[in-house]
Structures are given as C-alpha cells and as structure tokens.
Amino acid sequence: MRPANRDIPRAPDGRVPLRLLLAEWPERADEPTDVWLSSLPADTPLPTLVHLAKIRWRVEAVPGQSAPIAGRS
C-alpha cells in the first residue's frame, strides 16, 4: 500500500512508518466489508484493534447524523 499523502514523516533511509491494515471480511462475503489503517503498535491485541476501529467509525459518523437534530442543514 502506498500512502496518498506525500508529507508523511519518513525514517532517515526514506521508509514510511509501519502501519497495520485491519479488514472485516465476513465468511460468506466475496470481499471485505470494511477496512482500517492503524498506527497502533504491532503487538496491540486484535480485540483492541477491532474495538478502537469501530469506535472511531462511530465517532466520525455521528456528526453527519446529528446535523438535522442540531438544526443544521
């Protein structure tokens, strides 16, 4: 995977930081239903990665859903 942002801090040898790709791929699905890119340490337990990824999605989704409630259009 190549990052789209060209201003990512790099190591002295030019390498970009290690990232983990987390994919939700149900058993009967032909392809993943969701994907997340994580900058958490590689030894982060899988249940923690999943929990944090899904919580972040909820937080990012809420502002768009709350606009009508707050009277914004």
Residue-range domain boundaries for the chain: 20-66
pLDDT of residue 20: 86
d(CA 32, CA 48): 19
d(CA 11, CA 66): 41
pLDDT of residue 25: 93
Cα-based distances in Å from 42 to 17, 38, 45, 49, 59: 11, 9, 8, 10, 24
d(CA 48, CA 36): 13
d(CA 52, CA 23): 13
Q: Are 19 and 38 in contact (CB under 8 A)?
A: yes
Print pLDDT tens along the chain (73 aa): 566 767 778 889 988 878 888 899 999 999 999 888 888 888 999 999 989 888 866 555 655 555 555 555 5
